[in-house]
């Protein structure tokens, strides 16, 4: 893969002097779509050997989700299945389950997101696999988790946003609830929580020698991030409603339009920030009138109107320059076009340019977080279906070409 210079500093392999942090981990990714697989992507970025196991012939539905490229796989697949090796295996067939058990015996982690009880019906539940490999760590992500009255119900990120209370907060006060940004946000957040769980379980295994399973419901990943809405309701009975771009307990903390038509985000999170803003606006007397956050919240409409009027009198360049000089957090609200043009993204190598042998030139988000000693690496984009069958099955199970032919004829791989 060819890396551009800006990305290379962030994501190129630094060679033997900087071995990958997770290079000794072997991960079996039998999940679909984004949530649990994104945990695998994070682990793979930092050197784990992640083996993506898919249904023969059809593969993961993520391959056809989103914009499908000339190679037959989607941009989402090419980006989010990067650095993973791909094999095919039908876990529902006895022969496939047996092959999987043999791989589990040599692995550290299994990632899955089937409906609770599915793997158990196939004889591949955590307790059964733990007998084969006592140190096994299994990440289990489902719509509602492994327990509770809704455990067997299906769900996707949109359902998680609704059930977690996030969709209720998204939109204008007099309008319907809307999509809170990305429709896949709960999936990505769950994958991140999953990575935290896996790394925590690995640390525990270092001490006890025993593995464990991590149980995450998609909705839980979102609900955990909703600041004070739970304690506020429990203590005071308050139910936060939709507030558009505003924030419940801070003003001015919203979106405003400039004279030239662009939108900017402004964040005055404390009294000091508001004082700075009044100086930037050329209206320092406003600080005396609205000195505390409590006063500003009580006068939300007036404060917002004053800021909006000032923004509307300035060009985007004037707003950005003045707030920067005044130490007030402010940024233009970007579309992806502005992101690709911004020098900060370029300087940080956030947009990783690669040349894929199947799809051609690609630009994908670079890995996060940035590590000083063991940085992430980009080795390849999402692979073709079954691209690594011969390598993986020969390497770990000593299967010959004839063995693979037999399994292929049986529909196992």
pLDDT at 18: 74
Average pLDDT over residues 85-91: 98
pTM here? 0.93
If asked whether residues 208 and 323 sit together in one domain, one would say no
pLDDT tens-digit series, residues 105-160: 999 999 999 999 999 999 999 999 999 999 999 999 999 999 999 999 999 999 99
Residues 326 and 179 in one domain: no
The total number of structural domains in the chain stands at 2
- Last residue of some domain: 321, 341, 361? 341
Residues 324 and 402 in one domain: no
Tokens at 64, concatenated: 């056809």
| Helices (H), ranges, 89-154 | 94-104, 118-121, 126-132
Res. 74: pLDDT tops 90: yes
Does residue 269 have a pLDDT over 70?
yes
Whether 266 is in a domain gets the answer yes
| Whether residue 122 is found in the same domain as residue 266 | no
Q: In this structure, is the dihedral angle defined by the CA atoms of residues 337, 338, 343 and 348, taken in order, positive or negative?
A: negative
248 falls within a domain: no
Residue 174 sits in a domain of what CATH number? 3.40.50.10540
Residues 318, 374 within the same domain: no
Residue 141 belongs to a domain = yes
Q: Is the dihedral of CA 230, 234, 240, 246 positive or negative?
A: negative
Q: Which residues contact 35 (CB under 8 A, 6 or more apart)?
A: 113, 141, 157, 186, 187, 188, 190, 191, 194, 218
Q: Residue 17 — very low, low, confident or very high, per pLDDT cuts 50/70/90? A: low
pLDDT > 70: what percent of the chain? 96
pLDDT one-digit tens code per residue, 349-360:
999 999 999 999
Residues 324 and 373 in one domain: no
Residue 180 forms part of a structural domain: yes
Asked if 213 and 293 sit in the same domain, the reply is no
- Token pair 């991030």 is at which residue? 225
- Confirm whether 282 is domain-assigned: yes
User: Do 267 and 130 sit in the same domain of this protein?
Assistant: no
Range of the domain at 290: 253-341
Q: Is 396 among the domain residues?
A: yes
pLDDT at 13 (0 to 100): 40
Query: What are 133's two structure tokens?
Result: 């490999």
Specify whether 388 is catalytic: no
**Cα gap 85→386, rounded to integer Å:** 9
Are residues 50 and 154 both part of a single domain?
A: yes
CATH number of residue 269's parent domain: 3.30.1540.10
Neighbours of 391 (CB within 10 A): 11
pLDDT tens profile 325-350: 999 999 999 999 999 999 999 999 99
Does residue 84 share a domain with residue 10?
A: yes
> Left, alpha or beta for 282 (phi > 0: left; psi -120 to 50: alpha)?
left
Best CA proximity match to 22, nearest among 101, 104, 108, 103: 108
Q: Percent of the chain having pLDDT more than 90? A: 95
Identify whether 257 is part of a domain.
yes
Q: Is the pLDDT confidence value at 55 over 60?
A: yes
Looking at 300, 323, 341, the residue that finishes a domain is 341
The last residue of a domain, from among 298, 322, 341: 341
Q: Is pLDDT above 90 for 175?
A: yes
For residue 113, which of 214, 200, 210, 238 has the smallest C-alpha distance? 214
Condensed to tens digits (0 to 9), the pLDDT of residues 291-321 reads 999 999 999 999 999 999 999 999 999 999 9
Clarify whether residues 41 and 161 are in a common domain: yes
Q: Are 351 and 5 in contact (CB under 8 A)?
A: no
Please state, rounded to an integer, the average pLDDT across all residues of the chain. 95
Catalytic annotation, pick one of 187, 227, 388, 409: 187
Q: What is the pLDDT of residues 27-40, one digit of tens each?
A: 999 999 999 999 99
| Residue 3 pLDDT exceeds 50 | no
| CA dist., res. 363 & res. 366, Å (int) | 9
| 245, part of any domain | no
Task: Tell me phi and psi for residue 23, to 5 degrees.
Answer: -65, -25
pLDDT in tens, 222-255: 999 999 999 999 999 999 999 999 999 999 999 9
Structure tokens at 284: 């320092």
> Residues 44, 181: one domain?
yes
C-alpha distances out from residue 311 to 1, 172, 248, 252, 269, Å: 45, 21, 21, 12, 18
């Amino acid at each position: 893969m060819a890396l551009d210079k800006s990305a290379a500093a962030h994501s190129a392999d630094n060679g033997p002097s900087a071995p990958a942090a997770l290079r000794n981990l072997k991960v079996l990714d039998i999940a679909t779509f984004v949530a649990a697989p994104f945990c695998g992507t994070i682990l793979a970025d930092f050197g784990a050997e992640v083996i993506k196991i898919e249904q023969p012939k059809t593969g993961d539905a993520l391959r056809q989700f989103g914009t499908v490229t000339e190679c037959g796989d989607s941009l989402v697949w090419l980006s989010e299945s990067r650095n993973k090796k791909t094999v095919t295996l039908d876990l529902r067939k006895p022969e496939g389950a047996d092959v999987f058990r043999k791989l589990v015996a040599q692995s550290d982690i299994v990632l899955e997101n089937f409906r609770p009880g599915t793997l158990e019906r196939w004889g591949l539940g955590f307790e059964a696999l733990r007998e084969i490999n006592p140190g096994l760590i299994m990440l289990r992500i489902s719509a509602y988790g492994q327990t509770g009255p809704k455990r067997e119900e299906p769900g996707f990120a949109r359902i998680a946003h609704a059930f977690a209370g996030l969709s209720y907060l998204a939109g204008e006060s007099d309008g319907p609830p809307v999509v809170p940004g990305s429709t896949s946000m709960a999936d990505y957040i769950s994958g991140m929580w999953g990575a935290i769980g896996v790394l925590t379980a690995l640390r525990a295994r270092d001490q006890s020698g025993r593995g464990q399973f991590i149980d995450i419901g998609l909705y839980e990943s979102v609900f955990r991030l909703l600041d004070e809405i739970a304690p506020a309701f429990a203590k005071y009975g308050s139910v936060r409603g939709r507030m558009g771009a505003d924030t419940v307990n801070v003003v001015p903390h919203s979106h405003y339009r400039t004279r030239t038509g662009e939108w900017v985000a402004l964040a005055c999170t404390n009294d000091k920030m508001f004082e700075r803003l009044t100086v930037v606006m050329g209206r320092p007397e406003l600080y005396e009138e609205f000195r505390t956050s409590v006063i500003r919240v009580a006068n939300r409409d007036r404060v917002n109107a004053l800021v909006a009027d000032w923004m509307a009198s300035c060009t985007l360049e004037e707003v950005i320059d003045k707030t920067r000089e005044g130490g007030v957090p402010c940024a233009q609200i970007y579309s992806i076009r502005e992101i690709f043009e911004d020098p900060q993204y370029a300087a940080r190598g956030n947009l990783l340019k690669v040349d894929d042998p199947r799809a051609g030139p690609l630009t994908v988000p670079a890995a996060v977080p940035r590590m000083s000693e063991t940085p992430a690496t980009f080795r390849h984009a999402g692979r073709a279906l079954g691209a690594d069958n011969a390598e993986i099955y020969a390497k770990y199970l000593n299967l010959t070409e004839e063995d693979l032919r037999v399994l292929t004829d049986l529909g196992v791989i």
